[in-house]
Homo-oligomer: A and B are copies of this chain.
Amino acid sequence: MSTQGSAGKPLRADARRNRDAVLAKAREIFDEGTFFDLRFDDFARLAGVGTGTLYRHFPTREALAEAVYRKEVATLCEHARELRGTLPAGEALTSFLRYMVGYIDTYQGLARTLATLMATGTGALAEGSRELEQAVTDLVAAAVAEGAIRDDVSAGAVLVALHGIGAAHDRPDWRTEADGLITLVLAGLRPPS
């Protein structure tokens, strides 16, 4: 955990303590999926800080969400890199897409929160999204280079599918449908022989 805020300036000890407390509580509430149901003021109380402090560290709800989201994305990207290093590119891509579904399934609340954020579309997620996007793009590019998948469809198409899976997670039969979509996409990606 870094000793500085998002701007790079070193924070005073008490400031850092408070910032971390807020982040920890936010992550907790993210997981519960109630992040958007809570009054922002009450949230400050829950984290044990005053509203002023909360607003100083995170000027908007979205800014806070983004801070939490960044850690998640970092973890996912890390996993993508690992796969990339240990498997043939085609399998790495397959494995990663399956992993994403499982990940979203496990952290349903998080998925709900993220879906809301994306749709509200304040662009707060731009940076985190770009990182994840890059990871998927790399996997796809590598698979194309190996000839494991067709080369006439962009990685963006796969990302849109993932976006849909994340956004639709409240469907009753979500897991089956998500797995099914990944199956379709992977089948569709096979190079025409």
A119 within 8 A of partner (CB): yes
Q: Which residues of B contact A170 (CB under 8 A)?
A: 121
Contacts of A115 in B (CB 8 A): 119, 121, 167
Q: How large is the interface on A (under 10, 10 to 19, 20 to 34, 35 or more residues)?
A: 35 or more
Contact with B along A139-166 (1 / 0, CB 8 A): 0000000000000011011111111110
Copies in the complex: 2
Q: Is the CB of B159 within 8 A of A177?
A: yes
Q: Mark A168-190, 1 if CB is under 8 A from B, else 0.
A: 10110100111011011111111
Q: Does A116 contact B (CB under 8 A)?
A: yes
Nearest to A153 among chain B residues (CB) is: B180
